[in-house]
Amino acid sequence: MDSELEAKVLPPPPISPWELLPGGPRSQSGIAVRSYCLGIVLGVTLLITSQNLTAYVTPFLLSRPRLWRLSAFLCSLALFHFLEFWTHARYNLPQATIETFLLFDNGIEYEIAHGTAMIETVITSLFFPEWQSWSSGSKIQLIGVGMMVVGQIIRTTAMMHAGPNFHHKVQIRKRKGHNLVQHGIYSKFRHPSYFGFFWWALGTQVMLGNKFCLGAYFLVLHVFFSTRIAKEEEFLVDFFGDEYVQYKKKTWVGIPFYKTRLFAVGGRKLQHQLDPQGR
């Protein structure tokens, strides 16, 4: 990145009235339809999950594989995507576009991952219940749900604390008003939204009892976030200099085995010295 690009500070883009019209990036009708559909999915799947659990309440309730896991997974997905937009609309309005729902903007890999998880849990629940035996105990399933709850809370809190400094896409140019957030949850984690999503996603697979997808999610998310963080931190050092270098020394990433890696970013090699605990 050349010095001219590094020094250039861009103002936040203005919001044009046409953006609010149907087909625009902030289409009010588009936002309403997506919010309504997510609300329907959330309500229906929450009802199905609660009814299934109530119908099968026995001393051995969670020791048997049940399809309540699928409805619980869909419920968590609906809540996740709604909160992605709501948090932007409440704390980061300039970035609150239809894309911030993240429904169809994460790439085909995202859709395949969740689709595969649902297929695995349906097939194993109906035809190969022994495949789920490792997670049939209530303690394991509660751990999975706990990971989901904690991960979601941390990710949402991160977006709240970052406010207008939060972006779904890695920023390669520093915009006017872009500050290094070091308060709140950012005083402990320097990438809390990544931390939250990583553990939320793994928690869904523990809750579902998916052996294959749990391993696949871990590998794919580890590679994705390790690469993304390395790229993002190069730009952050360019933006904030020694302030960010010092900030890195006192904060945590929290993704397991996030250690020394060599990445090519912007035509240059960037080496990050990180300990196995994710610092």
pLDDT tens-digit series, residues 131-156: 777 766 678 888 999 999 999 999 99
**Residues 141, 205: Cα–Cα separation, whole Å:** 10
Q: How far is CA 230 from the centre of its chain?
A: 17
Res. 61 pLDDT band, cuts 50 70 90:
very low
Greater model confidence, 172 or 101:
101
Res. 253 pLDDT band, cuts 50 70 90:
very high
Q: Which two tokens stand for residue 238?
A: 């360019």
CATH node for 3-272:
1.20.120.1630
For residues 69-77, average pLDDT: 94
**Tens digit of each residue's pLDDT (9 = 90 or more) over 176-201:** 888 999 999 999 999 999 999 999 99
Residue 79, phi then psi, degrees to nearest 5:
-65, -45
Is residue 216 predicted with pLDDT exceeding 70? Answer: yes
Q: Which two tokens stand for residue 114?
A: 């969740």
**Tens digit of each residue's pLDDT (9 = 90 or more) over 97-110:** 999 999 988 889 99
Name residue 32's amino acid: A
Half-sphere exposure of 53 (CA within 13 A, CB side): 13
Greater model confidence, 176 or 30:
30
Name residue 154's amino acid: I
For residues 91-101, average pLDDT: 94
Domain locations in the chain as residue ranges = 3-272
Among 123-137, 213-227, 243-257, which is the least confidently predicted range?
123-137
Q: What is the mean pLDDT of the chain?
A: 84
Query: What's residue 105's pLDDT?
Result: 84
pTM: 0.84
Is residue 4 predicted with pLDDT exceeding 60? Answer: no
Is residue 65 predicted with pLDDT exceeding 80? Answer: no
Contact 155, 197 (CB under 8 A): yes
